[in-house]
Chain A
Amino acid sequence: MHPHLKPGPLPLSMQLAPGNKLKHFLTVEGLPYQLLHDIMDRAEQFVTLPAKQQKKAPLLRGKTVMNLFFENSTRTRVTFEIAAQRLGADVINLDIRTSSTAKGETLLDTVRNLEAMNADMFVVRHEHAGTAQFIARYSAPHISVLNAGDGRHAHPTQAMLDMFTIRQKKGAFEPLKVAIVGDVLHSRVARSQIHALTTLLTGEVRVIGPKTLIPANIERMGVKIFHDMDEGLRDVDVVIMLRLQRERMAGALLPSEREFAKLYGLNEQRLELTKPDSIVMHPGPINRGVEIDTEVADGVRSVILEQVTNGIAVRMAVMAMIMGGSAA
């Protein structure tokens, strides 16, 4: 048996090369406090640096980034694509659902073949938890893997762009109360946000939702659970709304969108319960009138579109830190 092919996990610690340098970016869990700030500092540089100047320092020139999207997501894919291109990399988009795996090729074979085409980085989105870690475990040593969402497990760049946005607006995390609202059970974004917020020593992290959408023992991740929206929103500095998928009604997790909107939807009246200077976030795409009212989504407290813009800078930061050597 080839030793490389022994089945087994990739320990989380293997995201980091010696000297705490990022090798892969699979999950926020287990990453050091300082590294999260380093990512945000780097993103800050990209936000303040004019686009023209960035082109003079193409940190990823000659590198090939392959976007492996086994699950549909135009928006996330595009932000990764822009980030890689701004850094000077060649970007190849593969819509895998319609190609190899549909023909019965195993995931491992697909990865091996792409590796042979001189890829340097895989950006992976997959419907199953642990896929990015699996690909990192079995890829050639020179390849880095960036997780763009795996099942319900993790979406680390989304969490980091959210942290970056919070830091821009609020400064320090220690005094903050942050509430994450809605379908936490199915949300990889929520899990990554919780790891990031607790690592950054956020004062209090809350999750709010009906029992059917709050996963077992989540308090062990360092959050407070609220089933009453009004109670949970009281005095928070940041409200993060999660997207509600329509399938949840079929799974008997919720009676109706209407009841959910009534009990857990964010409207202007509820927003009054939060701190006067609170901000409202959403990883998108939003369901207006379900988890969030239009007045709030488009209101002065909403930073939803800034999140999208920051997404490019944060993804550039992570790619640059993985592949571009030391800080600029």
Chain B
Amino acid sequence: MKNLIIQQARVLDPNSRTDQIANVYIQEGKIAAIGDQSTVLENFQDAEKVNAAGLWLMPGAIDLAAWLREPGLDHKASLASETRAAVASGVTTLCYQPEPATTIDNSAAVNLIRKINQGLQLANVEVIGNMTFKLEGKRLCNIGGLRRVGCVGVTNGWQPFESLNVMRRAMEYTSTHDLTVFMYPLEHGLAAGGVMHEGEVSTRLGLPAIPAAAETVAVAQIIALMELTGSRVHFCRLSAAGSVRLIRQAKRDGLAVTADVAAHQLYLTERNVLDFDPLCHVRPPLRAQADRDALLQGLSDGTIDAICSDHQPHELDAKLAPFQQTEPGISSLETLVPLTLRLAEDGVLPLLQALRKITFNPARIIGSNAGCIAIGAPADLVLLKPDVLWDFTLETMLSQGKNTPFAGWSFNGQVRRTFLAGRTVYQAPEAN
């Protein structure tokens, strides 16, 4: 592969806090050097040169949760459709989320996903394995084997454990193998059939509701079990103010804990469910304004480490029913980077800190050396044109799932080109 120089971009690297105009030199898929015009490297005389003056260069985003559906739920999405949508929107690594129809019980399942993705080579797909067999919450999976084939963590998803004892043992056994446990905090007994946040809007609509305590009770339980088992836990999809408080305290107490939030939780609240909008049927549910404020505060003070998409593409029929009968989830992959950039634009987070939540921090959580612009790091990079307003529409969306409440939103800053290990995997059609 030819060497590559990306010239004169505004290089934004959250890890080193770099924000400067520079040239980035790429050799054999890795970043070889970062320097100014005068930097002369051997072997770069014949290199391909990309003039990136006026553009931003950021690490490709790392999405901690994408429900990629294949194999098993191919009518909703496939790795082909979703990795294409990923790179076009600035995401270069996706973490495959297991679910009951697509469980990752053994190394064969992991290898199958790898094999499908090797045929595509658009984005990295990292696999999160099952904690319990078929996610039934009863028997442990071969977690040691899952680690050997490179799973970046294990999870039981939204499926309940049969008992707290199984949860305890699963956490304990996972920590034996030095793997991170991805926990979805939900006390199923308290959620009982609920489909939205318990509050003013659920009362008005008469929909069965999930109290915020269904999450915070589970967070508290898991923290207690972390103290018992010494395991490393990543909390997935926080939605409630009380959870942010508990995790802030756990971090102060020195526990090995990290947490993420789905980007849509930072923009939508229970009020968006009016009047029965199935596109806002999501799990955990969109909560009250005070919860949203606490999530933003948690991002700002470092309690919440990462922002993910929690991408859940659906076929049309899954959302064409009365609210309660629709399937939860938003097709949110393509809005992850735009919504995160908007946090900086709105002044919620400084630009580098916002980018860190979708690059370096999630990379650290899955033990990846991507997510930064540093010598030796994989050249998974995104060139972005700032100050271009564009409309996100169903027509231009690439994901197979069109279930988004963000259609019609305007965003600032557009992906022009995406590199995966130095190779161009997406290039925007030349506009203007």
Contacts and interface: CB of A to CB of B under 8 A. Distances in A.
3 residue pairs, one from A and one from B, having the closest CB atoms: A152-B206, A153-B206, A130-B276
B279 interface: yes
Contact of B275 (A11, A188, A191): A11
B323 interface: yes
Nearest to B407: A6
A151 B199 contact: no
Interface in B267-294: 274-279
A5 B202 contact: no
Nearest to A152: B206
B32 interface: no
A130 B199 contact: no
Interface string A212-244: 000111101100000000000000000000000
A130 B319 contact: no
Contacts of A108: 320-321
Contact of A129 (B320, B322, B394): B322
Nearest to B280: A9
Nearest to A191: B206
A216 B321 contact: no
25 contacts: A1-B394, A7-B279, A7-B316, A7-B320, A7-B326, A8-B277, A8-B279, A9-B278, A10-B275, A10-B276, A106-B320, A128-B324, A128-B325, A129-B205, A129-B206, A129-B322, A129-B323, A130-B324, A150-B322, A152-B208, A153-B207, A217-B203, A220-B203, A221-B203, A221-B204
Contacts of B205: 129-130, 153
Interface in B310-341: 316-317, 319-326
Contacts of A12: 275
A1 B277 contact: no
B330 to A, nearest CB: 11
Give the interface size bracket for A toward B.
20 to 34
Give the interface size bracket for B toward A.
20 to 34
A139 to B, nearest CB: 13
B403 interface: yes
Nearest to B278: A7
Interface string A93-134: 000000000000011100000000000000000101111011
Chain A CB within 10 Å, residue with most, of B209, B278, B403: B278
A129 B276 CA distance: 8
Contacts of A138: 320
Nearest to A190: B206
B274 to A, nearest CB: 7
Interface string A10-36: 111000000000000000010000000
Nearest to A7: B319
Contact of A216 (B202, B206, B208): B202
Interface string A196-220: 0000000000000000000111101
A217 B326 CA distance: 25
A129 B204 CA distance: 10
Given A9-B274, A217-B200, 17 more contacts: A5-B316, A6-B394, A7-B279, A7-B403, A8-B279, A9-B275, A12-B275, A107-B325, A126-B322, A128-B323, A129-B205, A131-B322, A134-B276, A152-B207, A191-B204, A216-B198, A221-B204
A154 interface: yes
Interface string A146-162: 00001111100000000
Interface of A: 1, 5-12, 29, 106-108, 126, 128-131, 133-134, 138, 150-154, 188, 191, 215-218, 220-221
A130 B207 CA distance: 9
B324 A216 contact: no
Contacts of A7: 278-279, 316, 319-320, 326, 403
B321 A134 contact: yes
B59 to A, nearest CB: 34
Contacts of A221: 203-204
B242 to A, nearest CB: 15
A150 B403 CA distance: 25
A152 B275 CA distance: 14
Interface string B165-198: 0000000000000000000000000000000001
B417 interface: no
A115 to B, nearest CB: 15
Given A7-B278, A153-B205, A215-B202, A1 B316 contact: yes
B402 interface: yes
Contacts of B394: 1, 6
Contacts of B279: 7-8
Nearest to A153: B206
Chain A CB within 10 Å, residue with most, of B204, B317, B321: B204
Contacts of A191: 204, 206
A163 to B, nearest CB: 19
Chain A CB within 10 Å, residue with most, of B200, B211, B274, B326: B200
A217 B203 CA distance: 7
B321 A1 contact: no
Given A10-B275, A215-B203, A130 B322 contact: yes
Given A128-B323, A130-B324, A217-B199, A29 B204 contact: yes
A134 B204 contact: no
Interface string B122-133: 000000000000
A179 B325 CA distance: 34
A216 B203 contact: yes
A6 B207 CA distance: 22
A256 to B, nearest CB: 22
